[in-house]
Structure 1
């Protein structure tokens, strides 16, 4: 249990873990001190070789170049001094090759591999090392490090993509929950409006009638006052019931961030899942009405979520949002394809996303068209007017 906790703790502190690895290489290198004729030089070189390993994940390219420089320098110094001792700390070269391939890329790993080939050639030429054993050991060791890096790099990339997709799914569920709450609050607000408007209208009409009938027909005036009282009591009961419903729900602590920042946040999140997104924003989008900004945000969000679900193993999407003179144009196009799955199963929606987008655009007085083009890509095009007028 203690070892497991320590291992989990080290995962979050790469500098500590790499420093421990470097210290281990230092101790290993000290085992060859007895075979060296130049012990001071050996100690200096043995102390320098493990140093880049301690910072290999913080600065992988720079540390790889530095370690390769140390290795070539070691070969040249040993040749000049006539010292044919071997530094076990040179195993750090394989560790650095693994680091570049797993955390940076194959191109950088290939460049280091070429540098390692040069170092091996110098060792064979200048230090009279056996060609066959040196080449065979070096090729086998570096190939093993490269293969291990490919395996772990692919696993890390897969885990990161799955985690990103699950994060998008959680975000999508949270968004839908917030929208459901907002929809319920809108329904309650409309009900509240109907109750108050109806009650106030009745009270005003009855009060006017009672004023006219107060002297001519006291009975009618009394009936009107009675109606006013009963209507007021009923309206009060309805208000109390509606307020009680409002108090049972808690509004989200943070409202969605809209405008260019909100769109950039959605696009960045989708890119983390492996969805290649190109975003084009034109015009001043941060000063439009909140209702329009929210509509644009939701259309882009829902379209990209659908692209992630339905546009194949390597999906791409192009998003264009343009503020024009009288409206905002939103256009989302994807590459089309066959849905992919994750270990927990495919990420499925409720099937109401397109319906929800149409309803939202209709409420804002805009238009929306969506469908598959002749080339198989899915295309969403919406226009939302900048001026929103309330309709009773």
Structure 2
């Protein structure tokens, strides 16, 4: 049963020495009162000495010595149980009326079982039985066989109740620890999910910014060169820069919107392979002569693969626009196969020659992967996430190429 914080029961549980002292005083008072009532020389009662002596000061002191140690029952229960056997044996040997002194031993037995380990609690049970048997064998206690059964049952009941309380406390403590572990695991999972989401947003932002800013830079350079010679061409370039800036702002607002906490973000659909013609047209307007070939039967792609493939083409064309040179051409080949999506982006420009490298779904294979920028790192992560294979490096006839294969089988996407 739970107790309300601040209640009397909760306060007594926190200050157990006070509650145990009250129990010891009440038990001692009842025992002495019992002895005083029996001081008129009545016949021996249950578990009394065969011929009780008249009560005197020593009788009261020994009886109190059996019950007052209950006040310290939680600090040294086993030691106090053994210690109370001495005044109890003195009461039996001197044929004094024990009163309720044996209840002190029962309380201490229960305390050992509830507060100590199994071995010590069994030892306490043996001590209690030994104290009772010693009194019987010495002839100072003369109970009948039903009394033996009752005494055995009472001792076992006190021991079992104490052990049950200890096991219940251990079970509740384990539940609390398990709840704490689950809470910590949940917080760790939440932090990992947040970090993964931030990484994804960072990749999306880089892809959007790098692509659009690169196109805007090329257009601005063209507008600057044509401003005095062909104002109309410069005006068209500035219009393209304006449109590209608006598009970039729209995509950035859509991505960054998920970080807002003041309300649901307005998010449009993510781009995919169906947007490749528009992407190729943008690159043509920016000055990169780009051609697109789509082979095989088009079919629906998993959303993650669809976005990853689009971003790969976008990043590859952006790098060609920035590094291939003004007279370069680029080709994009998309091949739809039954169990695989293949993408090949190449240009014939003067891109830096770097050793080809491959990346598999389970990690990097080889060194010297082309480029050290965040864009190529993002491509690697996207392809590896879906178990694909990526190759980045110089093209055989000059220029640069990017090849990727995305598996489309269910087992590869799991």
- Give the CA deviation at 1:181: 3.7
Residue 28 to residue 249, structure 1, CA distance change in 2 (3 Å): farther
Q: 1:17 to 1:226 in 2, by over 3 A?
A: farther
On the 8 A contact 1:32/1:88 being kept in 2, the answer is yes
Aligned-residue CA RMSD (Å) = 3.9
Other structure's SS at 1:215 match? coil
- What corresponds to 2:197 in structure 1? 184
Deviation at 1:93, TM superposition (A): 1.9
**TM-score of the pair, normalised by structure 1:** 0.52
Q: Deviations over 1:156-190 (max 9, x none)?
A: 44444455555555555554444444433333222
Change (3 A) 1:52 1:30: same
Aligned residues: 253
Given the alignment of the two structures, is residue 18 of structure 1 paired with residue 20 of structure 2, yes or no? Answer: yes
**Alignment match, 1:283:** none
Q: Which structure 2 segments of 5+ residues have no match?
A: 40-52, 264-359, 366-372, 379-414
Say which SS state the counterpart of residue 216 (structure 1) adopts: coil
Q: Is the 8 A contact 2:62 2:91 kept in 1?
A: no
Mark the CA change 1:226 to 1:99 in structure 2 (over 3 Å): closer, same or farther.
same
Aligned residue in 1 for 2:57: 40
1:52 touches 1:64 (CA, 8 Å); kept in 2?
A: no
1:189-204 equivalences in 2 (<5 Å) = 189-204=202-217
Larger Rg: 2
Partners of 2:251 and 2:21 in 1: CA distance:
69
Q: How far off is 1:198 after superposition?
A: 1.9
Q: Shift of the alpha carbon at 1:142? A: 0.5
Is the counterpart of residue 53 in structure 1 residue 70 in structure 2?
Answer: yes
Cα–Cα, structure 1 residues 195 and 156, in superposed 2: closer, same or farther, change >3 Å? Answer: same
2:231 — aligned with what?
218
Change over 3 Å in CA distance of 1:24–1:239 after alignment to 2: farther
Residue 232 (str. 1) matches residue 245 (str. 2): yes
1:274-327 per-position Cα deviation (integer Å, ceiling 9, x unaligned)? xxxxxxxxxxxxxxxxxxxxxxxxxxxxxxxxxxxxxxxxxxxxxxxxxxxxxx
> Where does residue 96 of structure 1 map in the other structure?
108
State which of 105, 117, 121 in structure 2 corresponds to 1:105: 117
Q: Report if the CA contact (8 A) 1:75-1:126 is conserved.
A: no
- For residues 110 and 23 of structure 1, the distance between their equivalents in structure 2, rounded to whole angstroms, comes to 28
Which of these residues, 22, 26, 29, is aligned with residue 27 of structure 1?
29
Contact 2:223 2:235 in 1 (8 A): yes
Provide the rounded CA distance (Å) in 2 between the counterparts of 1:78 and 1:130: 11
Determine the C-alpha separation between the residues in 2 that align with 1:366 and 1:113. 66
Give me the whole-angstrom Cα distance separating, in 2, the residues matched to 1:16 and 1:50: 15
Residue 117 of structure 1 corresponds to which residue in structure 2? 129
The TM-score normalised by the length of structure 2 is 0.50
Structure 1 residues 232 and 366: alpha-carbon distance in aligned structure 2, compared to 1, 3 A threshold: closer
| 2:83 alignment partner, SS class | helix
Give runs of aligned pairs for residues 77-156 of structure 1, distance below 5 A: 79=93, 82-125=94-137, 128-130=140-142, 132=144, 135-156=148-169
Mapping of 1:157-306 within 5 angstroms?
157-162=170-175, 164-165=177-178, 168-169=181-182, 171-248=184-261
Post-superposition CA distance 1:247-298 (Å, at most 9, x none): 3289xxxxxxxxxxxxxxxxxxxxxxxxxxxxxxxxxxxxxxxxxxxxxxxx
Q: SS in structure 2 opposite 1:85? A: coil
Query: 1:78 and 1:139, CA in 2 relative to 1: closer, same or farther beyond 3 A?
Result: closer
| Residue in 1 that maps onto 2:326 | none
User: Comparing both structures, which one devotes a greater share of its residues to helix?
Assistant: 1
Q: Could you say what secondary structure the match of 2:141 adopts?
A: coil
Q: How has the CA–CA distance of structure 1 residues 218 and 152 changed in structure 2, closer, same or farther, with 3 Å as cutoff? A: same
> Structure 1 pair 77/86, CA: closer, same or farther in 2 (3 Å)?
closer
Task: Give the corresponding residue for 2:353.
Answer: none
SS in 2 for 1:248: coil
